[in-house]
Amino acid sequence: MAALPIKPGASFDYGFLLYAGLHILGFLAVTSLMTWGVMVLFFLAIGGFSLDGMMHQLANLSGRYIAADAARTGQFKLIVGAVQLVVAAAIIFFRRHAILPRGRECLEQGA
C-alpha cells in the first residue's frame, strides 16, 4: 500500500484537534454532572421532594450500608455503577447532537 503524498501547503490543524478534545471533555464533564443530578433528583423524589425527607433517606441508606457485609456492599456498588452507566447512556443518547464540535468551516464563518 503506497503512502499518500502530502501537499506542500497542507499542514495538520493542531488547534482544531485541541478544540475538539476540549469540546468532548466538556461534553463528558457535563454528562457526568447531569447523571449525578439525576441521582440527587431520585433521592429528592423518594424523600417527598423535601430536604428533610432526602436527608432522612440518605441517613437510612448510609446506616444500612455501614452495617452490611462486604458481599452486600459489593452488590450495592455494582448496582449503583450499573444505574449510573444506564443513566449516562440515556443522557448521551438524548444529547448525541452535541458530541462532536462544529466543523472548521463553521468556525471560520463565525457562525
Is 12 in contact with 23 (CB distance < 8 Å)?
A: no
Average pLDDT for residues 44-52, to the nearest whole number?
A: 96
Q: What's the pLDDT tens digit per position in 37-47? A: 999 999 999 99
Average pLDDT for residues 21-45, to the nearest whole number?
A: 95
What pLDDT does residue 15 have?
86
CA neighbor of 58 nearest in space, from 74, 39, 75? 39
Rounded Cα distance between 108 and 37, Å, is 36
Q: Using DSSP, how many helices (H) and how many strands (E) does the chain show? A: 4, 0
Is 16 in contact with 104 (CB distance < 8 Å)?
A: yes
Rounded Cα distance between 19 and 106, Å, is 13
Whether 13 has a pLDDT exceeding 90, the answer reads: no
3-state secondary structure of 51: helix
